[in-house]
C-alpha cells in the first residue's frame, strides 16, 4: 500500500472546485450475443484504460463485457480529480476478485476431466465449450497437481459475477463455480451515480489491512453538471507519521 505522510484535521471539509463542463453522460455499452459488442473492452484495447477505470467499469457492467466508453469516462474523471487534489494521487481502486478468471471445481467423474488436467480447453460438452469460446478462454490450469479445482483464465476483463452465473448452470459436473477473490484490504476507489451526479469516494486504509484495515480516511468527490467538483472528507484523521500498512 502507498504511504501518505500529510496530516489532515479531524473535521469535515467541503470545497468546491470549478472546472470545464463534463462530457456527455456515461454511455451504455453491453451485449448478450456470442461476441463482444462494439465498444467493449477486449484484449486488443484493454491497455488503453487504467486498472482503476477497468475495475470501476466492471462494477457498473450490466452485460458480460465491460464498456470501453465507461472506462474512458472514469479515466477522465479520475484524472481531473487527481490533478486538483494531489492528496489522492496514489490511491487506487482495489478489486474484490480477479477480473479475468474464475475458479471451477469439477466432479472427478467428469468425462473430460483429463483434458482440463492436461491443459486442454475444450471439453466436447457443447454448452461448456460454447461459454469457453464465447468468453475467449486463454488457459485452464489446475490449482495443484492432481486437483480437480481449476483456474479458468480469460483473455480480457469481464463482468465476473455474470460469468460465474453462466458457468454454474452450464454443467452438472461443475461442483463449485466462483470468483477468484482477492485477499486483504487497502486503499479503495468506489463510484456511485446519485441523481445524475457522479460520486467518487477515495479512501486510504491503514492498520492491519491484511485483515481489513482498522482505520480509514475518505474523500468524497461529486462531479457537478457545470464542471465543478465538490469534495468532502470524513473518517479517521490521517496520522502525521507514515501510515502503517
Where do the structural domains in the chain lie, given as residue ranges?
Answer: 14-95+183-235, 97-181
Residue 164 or 23, more confident: 164
pLDDT over 70 at 79, yes or no: yes
**The listed CATH number (1.10.287, 3.40.50, 1.10.3470, 3.30.70) that belongs to domain 97-181:** 3.30.70
Per-residue pLDDT at 86 = 95
Mean pLDDT, the chain, rounded, equals 87
Rg (CA), the chain: 21
In 26-171, where do the E strands start and end? 97-106, 137-142, 149-154
Convert the pLDDT of each residue in 1-58 to its tens digit: 333 333 333 333 344 444 443 333 334 465 556 678 889 999 999 999 999 999 999 9
pLDDT band, very low/low/confident/very high, at 67 (cuts 50, 70, 90): very high
Per-residue pLDDT at 72 = 97
CA distance 17 to 146: 58
Q: Are 80 and 22 in contact (CB under 8 A)?
A: no
Residue 202: partners with Cβ closer than 8 Å, 6 or more residues away: 81, 88, 91, 187, 188, 189, 218, 219, 221
pLDDT band, very low/low/confident/very high, at 183 (cuts 50, 70, 90): confident
pLDDT over 80 at 93, yes or no: yes
Mean pLDDT across 97-118: 96
Per-residue pLDDT at 33 = 61
pLDDT band, very low/low/confident/very high, at 231 (cuts 50, 70, 90): very high
Q: Which of 95, 114, 105 is nearest to 152 (CA)?
A: 105
3-state secondary structure of 130: helix
Convert the pLDDT of each residue in 115-137 to its tens digit: 999 999 999 999 999 999 999 99
Lowest mean pLDDT among 7-21, 104-118, 226-240: 7-21
Amino acid at each position: 500500500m502507498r504511504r501518505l505522510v500529510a496530516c489532515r484535521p479531524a473535521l469535515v471539509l467541503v470545497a468546491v472546485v470549478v472546472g470545464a463542463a463534463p462530457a456527455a453522460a456515461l454511455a451504455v455499452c453491453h451485449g448478450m450475443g456470442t461476441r463482444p459488442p462494439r465498444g467493449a473492452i477486449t484484449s486488443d484495447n484493454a491497455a488503453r484504460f487504467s486498472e482503476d477505470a477497468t475495475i470501476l467499469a466492471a462494477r457498473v457492467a450490466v452485460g458480460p463485457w465491460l464498456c470501453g466508453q465507461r472506462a474512458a469516462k472514469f479515466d477522465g474523471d479520475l484524472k481531473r480529480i487527481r490533478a486538483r487534489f494531489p492528496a489522492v494521487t496514489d490511491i487506487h481502486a482495489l478489486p474484490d476478485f480477479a477480473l479475468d478468471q474464475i475458479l471451477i471445481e469439477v466432479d472427478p467423474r467428469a468425462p473430460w476431466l483429463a483434458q482440463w488436467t492436461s491443459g486442454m480447453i475444450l471439453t466436447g460438452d457443447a454448452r461448456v465449450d460454447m461459454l469457453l469460446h464465447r468468453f475467449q478462454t486463454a488457459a485452464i490450469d489446475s490449482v495443484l497437481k492432481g486437483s480437480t479445482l481449476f483456474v479458468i483464465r480469460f483473455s480480457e476483463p469481464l463482468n465476473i459475477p455474470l460469468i460465474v452465473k453462466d458457468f454454474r448452470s452450464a454443467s452438472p459436473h461443475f461442483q463449485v463455480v466462483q470468483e477468484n477473490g482477492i485477499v486483504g484490504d487497502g486503499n479503495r476507489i468506489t463510484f456511485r451515480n446519485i441523481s445524475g451526479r457522479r460520486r467518487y469516494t477515495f479512501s486510504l486504509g491503514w492498520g492491519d489491512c491484511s485483515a481489513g484495515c482498522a482505520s480509514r480516511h475518505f474523500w468524497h468527490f461529486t462531479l457537478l453538471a457545470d464542471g465543478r467538483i465538490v469534495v468532502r472528507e470524513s473518517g479517521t484523521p490521517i496520522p502525521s507519521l507514515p501510515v502503517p500498512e
